[in-house]
Amino acid sequence: MILELRNVGKSYSTAEGPITVLKAIDLRLARGKSVALTGESGSGKSTLLHLAGGLDKPDTGSVRVNGRDIGQLDDSGRARYRRLEVGLVFQQFNLIPSITVAANISFHARLAERYDPNWEAELVEMLGVAHLLGRYPEQLSGGQQQRVAIGRTLAARPTLILADEPTGNLDEATGDSVLDLMLALSRRANLALLLATHSVRLANKLDEKVVLRGGMISQ
């Protein structure tokens, strides 16, 4: 199992008192599989992805990635986990504006000391961004930026991809083609993919679909 959440609970403290977002989440994701995490806005999808991505810690339960409980890691351990094992894709493309597309694509791979020109060339080809390598992010359309962001994530060879509404800023046709590419590349790299979306139509493209409701998961 790449990702395994057991009995995960998470509350936030707010001015009006604590709110419990996740009550007792159990979720498993195997290598090569894609799971859509659906649920209404505010149901806790981003919260769950933050826990899986080591950006935050659960209050209760365990988040295991490749067999290790990442909630137990210290700050440097979590930073290392984020650099080496997990790839995050967000609705905002988060490319680095001051460097070229080519430099953006290699950025995480170099940080992870996994820069591999052959794999990168294959990604560039599959993502159809070869003609854009010398441009800067602001010179790209939204769909092009998200394809570059996906390339940057995959170039570092993570075992787990966490994508939070990755097509939320794109029109439907562009979003569909970006998601299709992300699924094809995840399969090609034999990755586990957890994708949060409020769109049932997009969720149906993935191997499995789970629903987050009332702080619990149902199939």
Ligand X SMILES: Nc1ncnc2c1ncn2[C@@H]1O[C@H](COP(=O)(O)OP(=O)(O)O)[C@@H](O)[C@H]1O
- What is the DSSP secondary structure assignment for residue 188, as one 8-state letter? H
Which residue of 42, 77, 128, 214 would you call a contact of ligand X, by CB under 6 A? 42
Q: How far apart are CA 173 and CA 59, in angstroms?
A: 39
For residue 143, the partner it binds in Mg ion, ligand X, none, with Cβ less than 5 to 8 A by kind, is none
Count the neighbouring beta carbons within 10 Å of the beta carbon of residue 94. 14
Closest residue by Cα to residue 98 from 87, 111, 107, 89: 107
Phi-psi region of 186 (alpha: psi -120 to 50; beta: other; left: phi over 0): alpha
Closest to ligand X by CB, 12 or 110: 12
Query: Which of positions 22-41 make contact with ligand X (CB under 6 A)?
Result: 39, 41
For residue 39, the partner it binds in ligand X, Mg ion, none, with Cβ less than 5 to 8 A by kind, is ligand X
37-45, 66-74, 109-117, 185-193 -> range binding Mg ion (CB under 5 A): 37-45
26-34, 45-53, 88-96, 104-112 -> range binding ligand X (CB under 6 A): 45-53
Q: How far is CA 56 from the centre of its chain?
A: 15
Binding site for ligand X (CB under 6 A): 12, 14, 21, 39, 41-47
